[in-house]
Structure formats: structure tokens, C-alpha cells
Amino acid sequence: MGLVTDSRALMMVRQPLDNTSATRAVFEQAPQEPRFVPPVIQHPFERVAPESQGIASSHVAAFLNKSRISQRGTTRWKIT
């Protein structure tokens, strides 16, 4: 290979590893989907006690405790 070919090959290998020079995208980066805009809530759920819906508070607390333990560690919910 010639000196020019070697030089260009070295530049091609070095360019992705060089973090000091700016690079430009080969393809234009554009969003492929439209921006998500959540709809306005027309009728929100009413706040009710679990017992009024036929569920014991202890079941809800146990469910929340299990989900919190699996996510963060050993956090416990208190029933008041």
C-alpha cells in the first residue's frame, strides 16, 4: 500500500476513538415517531378507602411492602 492509503486508513481507525474533535452524523437524526402528548383526564378516579371496595387494608399494605422490597430493599408501609 502507498503512504496515502496507509495514512487514510490510520485516520479512519483513529477518528472514532478521538474524543477531542467534533463528528458529524452520516445520516440525519430525526425522531421517528410523533411526540407523545397525554390526553387530558376527563373523569379521574374518586379517592376511596380499600374497605369500601371490599379489600382489606392489610392486603394492600402487604402488596405495597412486597413491591417496595423488590425495588429498593426493606422499606415497610405502615397502616394508619
More confident residue, 19 or 67: 67
Phi-psi region of 54 (alpha: psi -120 to 50; beta: other; left: phi over 0): left
Phi, psi of 71 (to 5 degrees): -90, -45
Q: What is the structure's pLDDT at 76?
A: 57
In a domain, 21, yes or no: no
Alpha-carbon dihedral sign for residues 42, 44, 46, 50: positive
In a domain, 8, yes or no: no
In a domain, 12, yes or no: no
In a domain, 77, yes or no: yes
Looking at every residue in the chain, the average pLDDT score rounds to 79
pTM above 0.95?
no
Residue-wise pLDDT tens digits, 32-65: 888 889 899 888 888 888 899 999 999 998 988 8
In a domain, 71, yes or no: yes
Amino acid sitting at position 39: P
Using CA atoms, how far apart are residues 47 and 52, in angstroms rounded to an integer?
11
In a domain, 75, yes or no: yes
Domain interval for residue 63: 55-80
In a domain, 18, yes or no: no
> How many independent structural domains does the chain possess?
1
